[in-house]
Structure 1
Amino acid sequence: MKYIFMTGGVVSSLGKGITGASIGRLLQLHGYKVNMIKMDPYINVDPGTMNPFQHGEVYVTADGAEADLDLGTYERFLDIVTKKANTNTSGDIYQTVINKERRGEYNGGTVQVIPHITNEIKKRFVAFDKQVDITIIEIGGTIGDIEGLPFIEATRQFMLEQKREDIMSIHLTFIPYIEGAKELKTKPTQHSVNKLREVGIIPDMIICRTQYPINDSMKGKISLFCNVPKEAVVEARTCSSIYHVPESLHEQGVDAFILKRLNLKSKIKFSNKWFKYVKQDTKHYKTVKIGVIGKYADLKDAYKSIDESLKISAMEAKVNLDIQYISSEDKNLIKRLKTLDGILVPGGFGMRGIEGKIAAIKFARENKVPFFGICLGMQCCVIEAARHLLKFKNANSTEIDPKTIYPVIEMLDEQKDVKYLGGTMRLGNYESDLVKGSLAHQLYKTDKIVERHRHRYEMNPKYIDMFKKVGFDVSGYHKGVLPEIVEIKNHPFYIAVQFHPEFGARPTKPHPIFQGFVLAAKKKAHK
């Protein structure tokens, strides 16, 4: 078993997840089985209760863990299915240790950060032993952050306990450009590496995020002051697509250096087919405008997986994609909708922006604009159809109006007695049976699907027959009872789902609903 630790310095949001996943993809192209683990230092047990403005979208694993959006990057790059073992936080680790102490598992000993917290962290480093060849472990945050110290200490201990050829450290740093001096500066990188070395970790490779090329002289300077070989100083310039990063690193010999450092050789003949696929010509004749109508429009990371899923489908459909994130509270919402080829209403929680989403859905339905609703987007579809097709004027979700006389969206009975918000929703993979002849069945080309969920509220089954009479059909059910997918007849493309299909898209495997949606938007754009 081999381990690669990814740390970051100077500033946050440098792209450790993308860099680590790119390295993982390169190692896969050499024939190795790779998985990734995220270690997040924040005290939240998971990001499930966080506002997306705090941490971007909440990703959901197949077994129902709420996780950082980096797990979506891992899945898309490596074509893997993540689980609870792929995500860890300080809150989760401390909670585990405290629970053990309460049960008396430490035999009356004093519980301390070292060794109890660090031992629990190290236990999670080896989650995929005997399952894969290489585990890449991303330590979240920035070196020097106080909350990250237990993870760094656990890493130091772990590296000491392993054979040197089985473990390596990669440090991602930032090379700022000083406009006044017209010069790149390496000093922050030097300080960052020094901080890492102070806590006992000497990086084997330094990857430098930069907007401008790093010349040979600068690489030599970083090598000298940071005590790494010159060939292990790597430039990581911003690419036009994150999926181009693996090729950029390969061209600089990153995978060759790592294989040598870990005493490995390629298992198979290296193929560049993946590079060619993601670098295919993106300047197409046709452009489609997709509007994502949500209340977190100012933060694209809140819809990271949706963004990537749309881009992947556009790549497959050979169209240019213009994604417009539009606030559902925008005063000019309807005017902006008139310029779009497709409308997507994503998930969310709470009442803010709901009426704008419903208005966008009504516009898409009445004006025959290709439409796709996800999670809360589906619930808003049901509300819109109840109000305007069934003429239930005050129809609503009990999440928004607990006293509505037409509760077309209602909380499951099992959710009504929940006390803790975190980790208690309907989470992870659930099966759905598709109605033959439906749009969903045509898109999936199968009778049964498995998709990931994250919600508390459901479409109220008692209204299904009423909806069917006005052409608003349920085309997917969980266990024959809970509605999972709704569609409208006599519309170019109108579908909404209770689950999160955006978690299933891969660069070479677009999700069928996203693919159908983009193709429908393409058709509308060029009638």
Structure 2
Amino acid sequence: GEFLGSDVQIIPHLTNLILKKIEETAKENSLETMLIEVGGTVGDIENSYFIEAMRELALKNKVVFIVLVYVPELDVVGEQKTKPTQLALRSLMQTGIQPDFIVTRSTNPLNKKAKEKIALFANLPVERIIDNHDTSNIYTVPMNMIECGFDKQLLKELGYEDRKPNSEKLAAWSDYLQRSNTGKPLKIAVVGKYVDLHDSYVSVNEAIVHASATCGAKTKVKWIESETLEEIEGETAHALEDIDGVIVPGGFGSRGITGMIKAIEYSRVNKKPYLGICLGMQLMAIEFARNVAKLEDADSTEFNPSTQNKVIHIMEDQKAVTEKGGTMRLGSWPATVKKGTYAFDAYGSEQIHERHRHRYEFNNIYRESFDKLGLRISATTPDDRLVEIIEWKDSFGIATQAHPELKSRPERPAPLFVELIKHAMM
């Protein structure tokens, strides 16, 4: 065999494979510097061989070890406890790794006493203990790192003392921060089924932040559990009456669907700006079918396989697939946008690409009848086979089968989110 009959071991065989992958990646991409993140906690069995590989990597290459630690704070006495950090550093050093920098995570700024104690146990000067405490805006973190001199220290350690920061990019970032902290107050509701853990929709939340900064708005997100709109009569109007715009994000399964449809209906009737994403597009079509086209049993075959009006149905090439996961329509796909639509206003182009993760699609037999009633198809796949974006004709309501939030960045906000914020500000 490949190992000539010898026992295959974690060390050196698995660690050598890790090192080989790192070296090949660096060589293939002509990398000057590589950032490698080892997840987990020091002492975990799962990452122990990766930590050993990093130790071996440092024997032949210039490696800077930056350790991220958590410093808890007891609210009762207001004391920052460094003992967990001390134990973590001791465990790490026992693997043969001496950290070059410690980045601390804490609720409040790290006090001098805690910083000195961590430096003592890390065998480091105090200035190499980098404070990264909680902030109301995560995008201030890079500027905080620059303020404490972390960038200069790191560049020096890597042998790049002569490198100068890009003043234009720093100015643009500062401008972005300024815009994200000021602007017209807005309130956007995200109506979903996983809102108990906001991180379930972290990309949606960040896309709202990016678009708001671009438009000069300071947006507060109101998280609404869709099931609560089902349980109490009149709760939808109560929950959404002070809202400037509504988003229904992606999801799977029938739980909470009725509440999301109620939110979409309220948005359409009251002309509240609306953005639907993936499931949010499918439910926009179902709501329109039930309440405007008067197809009372209109549904998705995902929720009701026996419905007579299959407004949303499974894609032909997915009908034989029963397991959820990697068989769905995944990745970036092209779409053609029609001029004279909200979608074209958002993208400013007829040809776009967005990322997807779904198996169900809009049923094409309803295209013509829905268009006559006020729901138009504003984007399709280039072959016109699949519907990509739909929208209301008489007020701003738009939904996409894609996940535009996944491509949103501070300097390149997702166009559909920008368009939502613009209309919410009107």
| TM-score above 0.5 | yes
Residues 300-315 of structure 1: pairs in structure 2 closer than 5 A: 300-315=198-213
- CA shift, 1:269, in A, is 4.8
2:110 is the counterpart of 1:202:
no
State the alpha-carbon separation in 2 of the partners of residues 381 and 180 from structure 1: 49
2:414 is the counterpart of 1:516:
no
2:390 is the counterpart of 1:486:
yes
Aligned twin of 2:376: 473
Aligned twin of 2:407: 504
- CA shift, 1:436, in A, is 1.4
2:151 is the counterpart of 1:255:
yes
Query: Contact conserved, 2:38 with 2:50, CA < 8 A, in 1?
Result: yes
Cα gap change, 1:123 to 1:415, in 2 (>3 Å): farther
Query: Contact conserved, 1:169 with 1:204, CA < 8 A, in 2?
Result: yes
Moved more, 121-130 or 309-318: 121-130
- CA shift, 1:114, in A, is 3.2
- CA shift, 1:473, in A, is 0.8
2:127 is the counterpart of 1:231:
yes
Deviation digits for residues 409-443 of structure 1 (CA, Å, limit 9, x no counterpart): 11112222235433221111000001111111111
Query: Contact conserved, 2:110 with 2:133, CA < 8 A, in 1?
Result: no
State the alpha-carbon separation in 1 of the partners of residues 3 and 352 from structure 2: 45
One-letter amino acid of the counterpart of residue 118, structure 1: T
Query: Contact conserved, 1:244 with 1:275, CA < 8 A, in 2?
Result: no
State the alpha-carbon separation in 1 of the partners of residues 20 and 352 from structure 2: 34
Cα gap change, 1:268 to 1:231, in 2 (>3 Å): closer
- CA shift, 1:133, in A, is 3.0
Query: Contact conserved, 1:277 with 1:508, CA < 8 A, in 2?
Result: no
Aligned twin of 1:134: 33
2:225 is the counterpart of 1:327:
yes
State the alpha-carbon separation in 2 of the partners of residues 369 and 350 from structure 1: 26
State the alpha-carbon separation in 2 of the partners of residues 124 and 253 from structure 1: 33
Aligned twin of 2:56: 157
- CA shift, 1:361, in A, is 0.8
Cα gap change, 1:285 to 1:232, in 2 (>3 Å): closer
Out of 142, 147, 171, which is 2:67 matched to? 171
2:16 is the counterpart of 1:125:
no
Q: Secondary structure at the match of 2:66?
A: strand
Q: Secondary structure at the match of 1:278?
A: helix
Deviation digits for residues 142-167 of structure 1 (CA, Å, limit 9, x no counterpart): 2222222232222222223x32xx31
- CA shift, 1:300, in A, is 0.7
State the alpha-carbon separation in 1 of the partners of residues 106 and 218 from structure 2: 27
Aligned twin of 2:341: 438
State the alpha-carbon separation in 2 of the partners of residues 108 and 431 from structure 1: 50
RMSD across aligned positions (CA)? 2.0
- CA shift, 1:218, in A, is 3.6
Aligned twin of 2:325: 422
Out of 43, 46, 49, which is 1:144 matched to? 43
One-letter amino acid of the counterpart of residue 264, structure 2: I
Aligned twin of 1:290: 188
Aligned twin of 2:306: 403
- CA shift, 1:375, in A, is 0.3
Q: Unmatched 5+ residue regions in structure 2? A: none
Deviation digits for residues 259-305 of structure 1 (CA, Å, limit 9, x no counterpart): 11111135445423144123305564631110000001111101101
Greater RCO (CA < 8 Å, at least 6 residues apart): 1
Out of 261, 264, 269, which is 1:358 matched to? 261
Aligned twin of 1:245: 141
State the alpha-carbon separation in 2 of the partners of residues 286 and 258 from structure 1: 38
Deviation digits for residues 107-144 of structure 1 (CA, Å, limit 9, x no counterpart): 66654433444344334434354354322222222222
Aligned twin of 1:24: none
One-letter amino acid of the counterpart of residue 10, structure 2: V
Cα gap change, 1:158 to 1:284, in 2 (>3 Å): closer
Cα gap change, 1:377 to 1:131, in 2 (>3 Å): farther
State the alpha-carbon separation in 1 of the partners of residues 301 and 84 from structure 2: 52
Out of 98, 106, 114, which is 2:11 matched to? 114
Aligned twin of 1:183: 79
Query: Contact conserved, 1:286 with 1:320, CA < 8 A, in 2?
Result: yes
2:339 is the counterpart of 1:339:
no
Query: Contact conserved, 2:155 with 2:163, CA < 8 A, in 1?
Result: no
Q: Secondary structure at the match of 2:34?
A: strand
Out of 338, 357, 363, which is 1:460 matched to? 363
Deviation digits for residues 287-331 of structure 1 (CA, Å, limit 9, x no counterpart): 111000000111110110110111111112222211001011013
Cα gap change, 1:416 to 1:442, in 2 (>3 Å): same
Q: Secondary structure at the match of 1:428?
A: strand
Cα gap change, 1:426 to 1:116, in 2 (>3 Å): farther
State the alpha-carbon separation in 2 of the partners of residues 117 and 417 from structure 1: 38
Q: Secondary structure at the match of 1:225?
A: helix
Cα gap change, 1:255 to 1:476, in 2 (>3 Å): same
Deviation digits for residues 435-470 of structure 1 (CA, Å, limit 9, x no counterpart): 111111111111100110011111112221121121
- CA shift, 1:509, in A, is 2.2
Q: Which has the larger radius of gyration?
A: 2
2:177 is the counterpart of 1:279:
yes
State the alpha-carbon separation in 2 of the partners of residues 440 and 342 from structure 1: 17
Q: Secondary structure at the match of 1:323?
A: strand
Q: Unmatched 5+ residue regions in structure 1? A: 1-103
Identity of aligned residues (%): 41
State the alpha-carbon separation in 1 of the partners of residues 19 and 362 from structure 2: 43
Q: Secondary structure at the match of 1:137?
A: coil
TM-score under structure 2 normalisation?
A: 0.92
One-letter amino acid of the counterpart of residue 487, structure 1: E
